[in-house]
Amino acid sequence: MNTKVLETVKAIVAASSNIVFFGGAGVSTASGIPDFRSATGLYNQRRGSKYPPETMLSRAFMLHHPQEFYDYHLNNLIARGAKPNTAHLVLAELEKAGKLRAVITQNIDGLHQAAGSKNVIELHGNTYKFYCLGCGQGYDLAFVDSARSLPPTCPICGKMVRPDVVLYGENLDGAVMQAAIDAIRKADVLMVGGTSLVVYPAAGLIDFYKGNKLVLINQQATPFDARADYILQGDIAKILPAFVENFDTKYER
């Protein structure tokens, strides 16, 4: 990692009160949650099923094979006991300090909220939230865990209760996308981290940033590196603490 670039970005963060962070799976890997596309990622773990993960995470599979869908969801997408890592904690600290205006995340693990972040825009939903396909009533994981059989059914209308996540074959929520676009358009600093930036339409959100402080933090190169004003290559959970004064003391890492 380039120390000079790190010091420059630290100064930018210190001077700004309008930062937006856009992150992906790499933000949560230090919490023990696998990413999707790496060699050890979720999509390369067949786990004995005759169906590939991309198939099991589709709307069609949920509707036609609901029990198998739920078995996969509960065993692979819900990281019970996972805790926020330093990346989540730093972002919450920056928000508390009045510097960070929004976290836009492709993750569905709820760890940003667990760390204390308030303005979190979840592009792909939240794996701990559920709703009825019939009446729309919302439910939590405790309701699903207590169900006598899978898929769980709504006690109000009897229809299937599904996870509140965006599956293959479904569109992102328009209102959520607009909130992300608005935040990025207004940002002074756009910090992007832990994402390969190959998944659309989420990756296309960067096009709405017109400023000159685009910071990319990632382990590998991304298709947007040429457009970045600053690149910090490495583990985001190890890089972000540099942006909060006395972070090590506060959290006794």
**Strand order, beta sheet including 125-132:** 138-140, 125-132, 161-165
Can you say how many angstroms the Cα of residue 122 is from the centroid of all Cα atoms in its chain?
Answer: 7
Distance between CA atoms of 84 and 32, rounded to whole angstroms? 10
Can you say how many angstroms the Cα of residue 217 is from the centroid of all Cα atoms in its chain?
Answer: 15
Establish whether 124 is a catalytic residue: yes
Both structure tokens of 129:
């939230």
Q: Which amino acid is at 20?
A: V
Indicate which residue of 73, 88, 112, 124 is catalytic. 124
Residues with Cβ within 8 Å of residue 177, at least 6 apart in sequence = 123, 201, 205
Q: Which residues are catalytic?
A: 124
